[in-house]
Amino acid sequence: MNMMEMLLALLAVVLFSTISLTYNQSIWRQTDYLFNAQLVVQSNHLCHEVLDEVDAKLFSKQLDFDNIVSTYDKKTRSSTIASQGETYNLAITAAVCDSTGIALAIGELSLFRRVDVSVSGPPALKHPVSMYRLYTRTYM
């Protein structure tokens, strides 16, 4: 084997190593995106669970409209998903608000209530997931 063949063999090894490393890096990046997407979907599901719980209690008359704020304001929950092994922390707040969702002073009368749910927890979840729902008094 002469010098030119050695140089070509060395360049081929470098080329294939670079291609392999680049491919593996993109695979790991894609895996990270998919894992984060799974956490975001699970966080959205947990937000919907709390908001649907408020809906169900209002619909079944287990919760009075005027008691939404006292029942759900400044509450925290923790939820562990067994299949993932991750713990999610839910922060729930409720407030009297106007029709656009802007909070009003405590003593003001309003036909609207806002319930906010924010989910954080797993370190892989890059940003907390937040969701809110406005509730309107439908009876006087």
The predicted-structure confidence for 124-137, as pLDDT tens digits, reads as follows 788 899 999 999 98
Q: What are phi and psi of 5, to 5 degrees?
A: -65, -40
Pick the closest to residue 33 from 125, 128, 129 (CA basis).
125
pLDDT the model gives residue 24: 82
Q: Which amino acid is at 116?
A: D
Q: What's 76-107 look like in SS3?
A: EEEEEECCCCEEEEEEEEEEEECCCCCECCCC
pLDDT the model gives residue 36: 81
Pick the closest to residue 119 from 64, 56, 59, 39 (CA basis).
39
Strand partners, 90: 77, 119
Query: For the chain, which ranges sit under pLDDT 70?
Result: 1, 107, 140
Give the burial string for 92-123 (b: 16+ CB within 10 Å, else e).
bbbbbbeeeeeeeeeeeebebbbbbbbbebbe
| pLDDT tens sequence across 68-79 | 999 999 999 998
Alpha carbon distance 69, 26 (integer Å): 47
